[in-house]
């Protein structure tokens, strides 16, 4: 059975020492989040994840969800009780606005809680995760009545939420959506169509399920310009706000799938179901984007979360498993062989996971703090800058953290040798569970295209220029600091390569857009390395300061941080040159063969 220990200390270090969360005290909700409160909240979330959710991870994988003849779905043993405890603990609404029953704590805190929950049990975490996404879309685009009706239910977790985009003929290209919406005299709509792969579409955890559905109003224009967003509850709300009569929405079947068996993936049939328009007609995709952006960050966190739990188990195993002797001579004479952690190749794997996890966690928190600014600051300029950052970094976090997160689960499995391939140690479940994060919420190839095609040129490149400006200024200001040179120098080189890649697109992609498409994934990963490298510089700077200040075990912990960061700079950062070379190779050889040749 795998084990899990939530990285509370690391989150505290990042929030307090690297990002100085106290500097945000002018934002609503932050002054209440004193270090003691933050530590207590994280500590409780850690306990809940470690003691309640982690033991259910294997159960959920083995049992999966079951659909019954009446269309109802039963979640695995223990999920219902865990969900009850989740909502009783108030975890659902930790960062939600107080006016709708939330606690208004920083979003940064919720992202850490999400990480803990996903590490412990990703399939379970998707039920509350999607619910909060639905709440965010209604908060941003719902009418005052819709907000009053749905938000308190979703934020308390009494009802859960889903997002219904995908249909059999379309997932990426939502312009092909066929689900129809027919206006009714009372202002509601009758929704008819089939959605597939709907996470948490049906289950037994909550008394109602609020489906957010993309559909086409009769007579709407073709393509994405004719798509509207509707709220379609499983059970129609009664006049008093409770549950009334059953709506025309049902689960036709649930998918058998590679991983996340504890989460129900449903075919949802809408048969003249009553729904209400959210936002303006034909503006559904824009409204759904709010939900998708939240969800994309959440999916990036899933990549990190599985990488973290897989790493923890691989590190423990590498200290116990005996095989061979260290190349530099026996290290454990009392044992018949040395533990495999003495071997550089095993170290390579462990260090790569660890160096990724610590920087990825920083990147998530940095961006989550921007999300707090974007949602809560009273200063319009600050809000815009934070929003730009989120727009730019969301595809990077989604794409890079899930690609690398999956790769890390495979690396962790490798550390176990054959024991990683069999089910007993739980490592193969991490691999299977992590795989979906690269696909849903926009496959990672689409994230890369979003970054290169939309986010770079948006507003005349304002977000990108701000990012380049911040990183270059940081490098310049620390140029004379010898203690940071092993971090700042490689970052400077990598930033230069990212700037060259950007310039190459400007010169070569306008004439031939395939050049942008061909290099997009490399660009996303190059960008990811620069962003993670920047995080390592900031972590290293904070670690130097903390080690100098002394205190309980600080020197040792910070020395480990610095060594991990050095590994990142020495062994992982050089990949930027390969990405740049591949970008500059362009589309020619990629597109040379005619389709029939494949
Ligand atoms: C377990 C699971 C849970 C899911 N949960 C939900 C959910 O809750 N709600 C929901 O609505 N959907 C959900 N999905 C659906 C998921 O979001 C889609 O499967 C995903 O967006 C990809 O769409 P698709 O499967 O139709 O692939 P396609 O759109 O057919 O894409 C196939 C491949 O082609 C690539 N591709 C497509 N178009 C382009 C292009 N223009 N340029 C370059 N490459 C391109 C894609 O990157 C992809 O690799 C879920 C799926 C699964 C498996």
Residues with catalytic roles: 441
Please indicate whether residue 197, judged by its CB atom, sits closer than 6 Å to ligand 1.
Answer: yes
Residue 263's pLDDT is: 98
Atom of ligand 1 nearest to the CA of 255: 1
Give the E-state strand segments of 385-450 in sequence order: none
Residues with Cβ within 8 Å of residue 110, at least 6 apart in sequence: 94, 95, 132, 368
**Ligand 1: which of 65, 264, 439 to mutate, judged by most atoms within 8 Å of the beta carbon?**
439
190 lines ligand 1 (CB under 6 A): no
Find out whether the beta carbon of 198 lies less than 6 Å from any atom of ligand 1: yes
Q: How confident is residue 492, by pLDDT bands cut at 50, 70 and 90? A: very high
pLDDT at 304: 98
pLDDT at 549: 94
> From atom 2 of ligand 1, which residue's Cα is the shortest distance away?
197
Quick one: pLDDT band at residue 242, thresholds 50, 70, 90? confident
How confident is residue 32, by pLDDT bands cut at 50, 70 and 90?
confident
**Which of 61, 171, 524 has most ligand 1 atoms within 8 Å of CB, for mutation?**
171
Q: Which atom of ligand 1 is nearest to the CA of 165?
A: 11
Q: Is the CB of 176 under 6 A from ligand 1?
A: no
pLDDT at position 291, please? Answer: 72
pLDDT greater than 80 at residue 289: no
- Could you tell me the pLDDT band of residue 292, with boundaries at 50, 70 and 90? confident
**Residue with the nearest Cα to atom 38 of ligand 1?**
172
Q: Give yes or no for residue 445 CB within 6 A of ligand 1.
A: yes
pLDDT (average), residues 499-516: 96
Atom of ligand 1 nearest to the CA of 445: 47
Task: List helix spans (H) across 237-327.
Answer: 284-320
In short, whether 521's Cβ falls inside 6 Å of ligand 1 is no
The owner of tokens 């600080």 is 554
The interaxial angle of helices 427-435 and 284-320, nearest 10 deg, is 160
At residue 293, the pLDDT reads: 76
Residue 505 pLDDT greater than 90, yes or no: yes
Q: Could you read off the pLDDT of 369-392 as tens digits, one per residue?
A: 999 999 999 999 999 999 999 999
pLDDT one-digit tens code per residue, 429-485: 999 999 999 999 999 999 999 999 999 999 999 999 999 999 999 999 999 999 999
Q: What is the pLDDT of residue 551?
A: 87
Q: Based on the number of CB atoms within 10 Å of its own CB, is 347 exposed (0-12), middle (13-18) or buried (19 or more)?
A: middle
Average pLDDT over residues 115-128: 98
Q: Is pLDDT of 260 > 80?
A: yes
Contact 107, 372 (CB under 8 A): yes
The model carries a pTM of 0.97
So what's the pLDDT on residue 561? 98
Is the separation of the CB atoms in 239 and 246 below 8 Å? no
């Amino acid at each position: 059975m795998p084990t899990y220990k939530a990285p509370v200390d690391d989150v505290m270090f990042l929030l307090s020492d690297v990002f100085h969360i106290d500097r945000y005290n002018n934002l609503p909700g932050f002054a209440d989040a004193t270090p003691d409160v933050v530590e207590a909240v994280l500590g409780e979330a850690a306990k809940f994840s470690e003691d309640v959710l982690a033991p259910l991870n294997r159960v959920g994988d083995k049992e999966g969800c079951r659909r019954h003849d009446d269309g109802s779905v039963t979640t695995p043993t223990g999920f219902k009780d865990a969900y009850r405890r989740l909502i009783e603990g108030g975890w659902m609404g930790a960062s939600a606005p107080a006016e709708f029953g939330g606690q208004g704590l920083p979003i940064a805190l919720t992202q850490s809680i999400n990480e803990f929950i996903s590490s412990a049990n990703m399939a379970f975490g998707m039920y509350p995760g999607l619910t909060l996404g639905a709440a965010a879309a209604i908060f941003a685009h719902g009418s005052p009545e819709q907000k009053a009706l749905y938000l308190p239910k979703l934020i308390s977790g009494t009802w859960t939420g889903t997002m219904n985009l995908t249909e059999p003929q379309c997932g990426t290209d939502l312009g092909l959506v066929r689900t129809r919406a027919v206006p009714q005299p009372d202002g509601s709509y009758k929704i008819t169509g089939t959605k597939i792969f709907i996470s948490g579409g049906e289950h037994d955890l909550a008394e109602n399920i609020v489906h957010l559905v993309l559909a086409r109003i009769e007579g709407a224009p073709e393509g994405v310009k004719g798509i509207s967003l509707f709220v379609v509850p499983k059970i129609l709300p009664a006049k008093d706000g409770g549950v009334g009569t059953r709506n025309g929405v049902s689960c036709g079947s649930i998918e058998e799938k590679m991983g996340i068996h504890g989460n129900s993936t449903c075919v949802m049939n809408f048969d003249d179901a009553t729904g209400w328009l959210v936002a303006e007609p034909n503006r559904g995709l824009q409204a759904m984007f709010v939900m998708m952006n939240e969800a994309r960050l959440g999916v990036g966190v899933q990549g990190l979360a599985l990488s973290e739990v897989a790493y923890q188990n691989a590190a423990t195993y590498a200290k116990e498993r005996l095989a061979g002797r260290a190349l530099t001579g026996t290290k454990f004479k009392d044992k018949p062989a040395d533990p495999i952690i003495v071997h550089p190749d095993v170290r390579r794997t462990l260090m790569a996971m660890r160096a990724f996890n610590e920087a990825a966690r920083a990147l998530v928190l940095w961006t989550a703090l921007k999300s707090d600014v974007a949602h809560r600051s009273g200063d319009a300029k600050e809000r815009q800058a934070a929003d730009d950052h989120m727009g730019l970094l969301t595809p990077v976090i989604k794409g890079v953290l899930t690609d690398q997160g999956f790769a890390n689960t495979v690396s962790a499995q490798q550390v176990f040798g054959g024991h990683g391939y069999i089910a007993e140690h739980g490592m193969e479940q991490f691999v299977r569970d992590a795989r979906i994060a690269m696909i849903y919420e926009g496959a990672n190839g689409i994230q890369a295209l979003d970054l290169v095609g939309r986010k770079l040129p948006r507003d005349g490149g304002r977000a990108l220029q701000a990012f380049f400006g911040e990183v270059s200024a940081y490098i310049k200001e620390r140029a004379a600091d010898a203690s940071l040179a092993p971090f700042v120098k490689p970052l400077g080189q990598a930033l230069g390569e990212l700037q060259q890649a950007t310039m190459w697109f400007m010169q070569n992609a306008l004439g031939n857009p395939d050049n942008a498409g061909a290099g997009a994934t490399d660009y996303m990963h190059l960008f990811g390395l620069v962003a993670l490298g920047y995080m390592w510089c900031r972590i290293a700077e904070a670690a130097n300061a903390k080690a100098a200040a002394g205190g309980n075990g600080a020197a040792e912990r910070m020395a480990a941080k610095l060594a991990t960061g050095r590994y990142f700079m020495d062994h992982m950062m050089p990949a930027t040159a390969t990405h740049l070379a591949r970008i500059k190779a362009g589309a020619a050889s990629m597109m040379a063969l005619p389709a029939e040749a494949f």
